[in-house]
Amino acid sequence: MVSTPKGMKRHLTNYGDPDFSLYLRTAFIKAMGYTGEALDRPIIGIVDTYSGFNPCHATVPQLIEAIKRGVMLAGGLPITFPTISLHESFAYPTSMFLRNLMAMDTEEMIKAQPMDAVVLIGGCDKTVPAQLMAAASADIPAISVVTGPMLSGSHRNERIGACTDCRRFWAQYRSGAIDRGTIDDITDNLVPSGGTCGVMGTASTMACVTEALGMMLPGGAAIPAVLADRMRHAEQTGARAVALASEGLTPARIITAEAMANGLRMLLAIGGSTNGIIHLAAIAGRLGIDIDYEAFDEMGRETPVLIDLKPSGSYYMDDLHRAGGLAPVFRELRPLLNLDCLTVTGRTLKEEIDTLPEPFTQEVVRTIDRPVHRGGSIAVLKGNLAGGGAIIKQSAGSPELMIHTGKAVVFESVEDMAQRIDDPNLEVEESDILVMKNCGPRGAPGMPEAGYIPIPKKLARQGVKDMVRISDGRMSGTAFGTIVLHATPESAIGGPLALVENGDMISLDVPNRQLTLLVDDEELERRRTRFKPAVDPASLRGYLRLYHEQVNQAERGCDFDFMRAARSGTTTP
């Protein structure tokens, strides 16, 4: 049997003479000052995602130092390399549009360069999924570490934090409840330190899900970015990466269909971001695994929300760390998890849960019989307005709107919505349902987080706080409201949302999982024959064209079809 080359001998540049390739590579790497002894060690790549445009990754330089220390203590040679870094507020048109590019960049750099294992430093929303998609496809031993959440801040003695409070205060400013000076003061304090958003947004969700998938050392999801604990965790991650290299434990052996079900279970129990489902579908697709959405919905009915964190609850991520991180969650979920799954520790999830630290009294993580929300956080909707499925985060919505019928007020695009939503002449009432089209992966493009359609100013000023809103877009994990998302197929390719017209009646019935456009089939057929796609891909160029031509729909993770595993057929239990 031919053994896989190790260290510097891996993935030699192709000059037609492997010995020459190694000789040349060695000559060049020596320019960095390495000795032959250093170069003989297992090489651990470290993905450097520091960027001046990414405050969520402000601590990456310190993390790299800690990871390097761990690698060297364990006898490896750490080598850092850069990839794309994405921050939510610094990615036009949306970070989701660029997630697949980051995944491709990361995968190709892992495959192109000589490393025996890789440490992935992610953090901000799209970075962790992009890296897991890449690691799943590159299939060398990989281990995740996240930058960790920011600390919570304060405004006039009230605790605040990005980004649930960002939206709450902005809604108050829009309604006239607070003035410009106050919102400016709040802006200074919403993000008081480096690190990811301090609530159960997408970044925190993906950190928790990554730990549940088994791709992160236990205890790593909730440690705040600026604590010494975070650096110790990074050091331990570096050391473990060296062992992973010799054991050859690859993501494909860790991220199985059963592990994916554990990730989905964690997503539900933490009241996680709806974006997490899309990212998990994309990661699963890289390994030939499909998510069974009916099973996921069933799982939702039996998995209560255990964590009392914003936006579904009241605490912040630094509170979750003080409460023991995910340890109490794993303890509560134990009977519902697939315990035989392997983790990056080389042990099973059962072994990890068996050795968790002793529980102590705390208020952030509830027990399964005293949950924050009993019915599961996310429901999967069916019906003629949700052909391939749509979802709603019921734990962040208004209970009185979970069964609601209303008149559609339609916006043709994000731009149309932005132009008209605050028009005093907009014909809209509190009981109406706001519908936004062309917000999906191709329509916008990039499926922006515009699904959180603001309450029209004239209603907000009357004190209206929530309305039913429907789109084929996404919503930030930090947002809240009775908001139906990810309606597929998206309207830009003629999905059911494209057929809705102003004044149509729509019925939402979350307990029965139904989303129905109350228009007869003949009329819908007439509208369908009139549909024309808004964008001609031939008019586009570059990555935008690739994206438009290849991106798949939300239920498959908005990945590029050609990046999914060639084999398929496994489904989550």
Residues that bind ligand FES (CB under 6 A): 56, 87-88, 124-125, 162-163, 196-197, 201, 203
* Nearer to ligand FES (CB atom), residue 326 or residue 508: 326
Taking the complex as a whole, the smallest distance from the CB of residue 541 to ligand FES amounts, in Å, to 29
Asked whether the beta carbons of 100 and 65 are under 8 A apart, the reply is no
* Nearer to ligand FES (CB atom), residue 99 or residue 240: 99
Q: CA-based angle 365:282:395, to the nearest 5?
A: 35
d(CA 359, CA 522): 60
Positive or negative: CA dihedral 199, 172, 372, 295:
negative
* Nearer to ligand FES (CB atom), residue 162 or residue 268: 162
Q: Name the token pair of 121.
A: 């430093």
Query: Which residue in the block uniquely carries the two structure tokens 């019906």?
Result: 383
* Nearer to ligand FES (CB atom), residue 411 or residue 452: 452
Taking the complex as a whole, the smallest distance from the CB of residue 393 to ligand FES amounts, in Å, to 17
d(CA 282, CA 279): 5
* Nearer to ligand FES (CB atom), residue 161 or residue 456: 161
* Nearer to ligand FES (CB atom), residue 106 or residue 204: 204
Taking the complex as a whole, the smallest distance from the CB of residue 201 to ligand FES amounts, in Å, to 5
Q: Provide the pairing of β-strand 378-381 with 289-290.
A: unpaired
Taking the complex as a whole, the smallest distance from the CB of residue 275 to ligand FES amounts, in Å, to 11
Provide the residue type at 30 as one letter.
K
Q: Name the token pair of 569.
A: 């057929």
Taking the complex as a whole, the smallest distance from the CB of residue 563 to ligand FES amounts, in Å, to 24
Nearest alpha carbon to residue 411 among 501, 536, 533: 501
Taking the complex as a whole, the smallest distance from the CB of residue 41 to ligand FES amounts, in Å, to 34
Nearest alpha carbon to residue 220 among 204, 242, 200: 204
Taking the complex as a whole, the smallest distance from the CB of residue 122 to ligand FES amounts, in Å, to 10
* Nearer to ligand FES (CB atom), residue 166 or residue 497: 166
Taking the complex as a whole, the smallest distance from the CB of residue 478 to ligand FES amounts, in Å, to 7
> Which contiguous run of DSSP H or E holds residue 409?
strand 403-411
Taking the complex as a whole, the smallest distance from the CB of residue 127 to ligand FES amounts, in Å, to 8
* Nearer to ligand FES (CB atom), residue 216 or residue 254: 216
* Nearer to ligand FES (CB atom), residue 106 or residue 553: 106
CA distances from 333 to 141, 220, 257, 349, 351 (A): 27, 18, 18, 12, 14
Query: Which residue in the block uniquely carries the two structure tokens 């315990």?
Result: 339
* Nearer to ligand FES (CB atom), residue 125 or residue 352: 125
Taking the complex as a whole, the smallest distance from the CB of residue 151 to ligand FES amounts, in Å, to 14
Overall residue count recorded for the chain in this entry:
573
> Which contiguous run of DSSP H or E holds residue 571?
strand 570-571
Gyration radius (Cα) of the chain, Å:
24
Taking the complex as a whole, the smallest distance from the CB of residue 196 to ligand FES amounts, in Å, to 4
CA distances from 269 to 2, 97, 208, 373, 390 (A): 45, 28, 10, 9, 20
* Nearer to ligand FES (CB atom), residue 49 or residue 106: 49
CB atoms within 10 A of CB 30: 12
250 SS3 class: coil
CB atoms within 10 A of CB 52: 9
Task: Kindly tell me the burial class for residue 69, based on how many C-beta atoms sit within 10 Å of its own C-beta (0-12, 13-18, 19 or more).
Answer: middle
